[in-house]
Structure 1
């Protein structure tokens, strides 16, 4: 048994900590984040735009970004489809944005692949995994909540170790809920282990306007 390490409230108030580092000011800090939405709602487009903004050091909406290299694991697309989307979004794609369309799964090589990339590209600020389900091994023993929490926890450890942001693209349940965060597919272990969660919604599939619901440990709850 290890003895509990405690600190008094007085000592805690007298300590000095560095402020939370944000990749996208007031929106995406370092850590592990989930972006969820219905199929074909625009999650991948939003993720790609985010990647472009960070790689170019350009604002995301009115939020400033910290420029750095970006790794986008676009595991449900082809390079041809990614190219088409890139041309739709920009004519100034930089070599600081990297793509892969195949990767190992969690606990079977993915963590090592990401760490190897981060070692080779030390200025990396953002890793996007599209989608979370593509990097989770089939099946799994035990409790659903425990499995969800453990899988997300592995990726959060990576984000914290390397001081980067990792964004997981995920799906929503089909059942509607007044709280968009309750619609994230899986158990509450997913959102519980993440630092922030974002839900992208449209009032109708053909609508040109979407809402992004945001909540997290280091950001204010808001809808964009």
Structure 2
């Protein structure tokens, strides 16, 4: 008899899962994405800039990247054209960026090629496929066929824990919702984890807006300008990112537990203790969430976290092991957690 493999609400909310990794902060996480735009609008320049930035661990569009190997399937280009573009955008080559000009199609070997590449390059973070049409088998575009084809790439991205971005075209017709302009059925948008649509404010103006939406990212509209000298899109109104409350909590927790080594008590009791190291106001109903969702970060900082339910209350048990603290903060008077610095 077949049965569901279910998990209770409490089990899910108290289990430390491996967090989703971002290739580009706030823009690109593990999963399947679409980057769409009109022909010759500059999608390939943006894709190349993202790949190169991830390979070098440098900022792109004002956002931090997680360094690793990047694979760019330039299926409409030649190596000569790729070489010319690379010399336009950088004078420092990197071993972490790889290019392919021929590949198999979806369901006919493409997934195996990407998986084999991943096996040879364990730190693979991102794969760009330029363009989607070059790896499709179906000429018909219906919700069912679109969803089915992209589901293969979606499953592959989830399995390999990488980001796969398919470069695609937009329709000629205008729409108040830019995501409705993605060519094909809504099966494409429905299957992917996120979509980015690059639209010029006026054709040929080299001023554009990048519309972003996704499951793991905040909806965003980023104003861009194409720098003809640098050959890359640059942000013209880079917003200042607000400090994350969770980051402040983690920094305060680290400062406290580094001194006290052990803690056992309720969320309210922990908040009282944190008042000795931070003036920030924390709330008991958020403490467990912040601990569970950042469990992997805590381990890197030598902090073990256990959540135990008793008859009377829910206990939070913490222990700090300096020998397992891989941070740069254990021997300094400053603490940096998730890029937030807190003075001790």
Give the root-mean-square deviation of aligned CA atoms: 1.4
Distance 2:194 2:120 in 1: 27
Please list every run of 5 or more consecutive structure 1 residues that lacks an aligned counterpart in the other structure: none
Distance 1:190 1:138 in 2: 13
Answer with 131-140 or 71-80: which moved more.
131-140
Which one has the largest radius of gyration?
Answer: 2
CA displacement 1:82-133 (0-9 Å, x = unmatched): 1111111000121211111111111111111111111111111111000001
Contact 1:52 1:93 in 2 (8 A): no
Using structure 2 for the length normalisation, give the TM-score: 0.62
Structure 1 SS opposite 2:65: coil
Instruction: Tell me, yes or no, if structure 1 residue 30 matches structure 2 residue 34.
Output: no
Q: Which residue of 2 aligns with 1:183?
A: 181
Contact 1:75 1:134 in 2 (8 A): yes
Q: CA offset at residue 138 of structure 1?
A: 4.2
**Counterparts in 2 of 1:159 and 1:6: CA distance versus 1, 3 Å:** same
Contact 1:214 1:223 in 2 (8 A): yes
Distance 1:54 1:16 in 2: 27
CA displacement 1:199-221 (0-9 Å, x = unmatched): 00001221122110000001000
Pairing partner for 1:215 from 206, 210, 213: 213
Pairing partner for 1:150 from 141, 148, 151: 148
Q: Which residue of 2 aligns with 1:48?
A: 48
For residues 72-111 of structure 1, the aligned pairs below 5 Å read 72-111=72-111
Distance 1:122 1:11 in 2: 31
Contact 2:138 2:145 in 1 (8 A): no
Answer with 51-60 or 13-22: which moved more.
13-22
Using structure 1 for the length normalisation, give the TM-score: 0.95
Of structures 1 and 2, the one scoring higher in RCO (CA 8 A, sep 6+) is 1
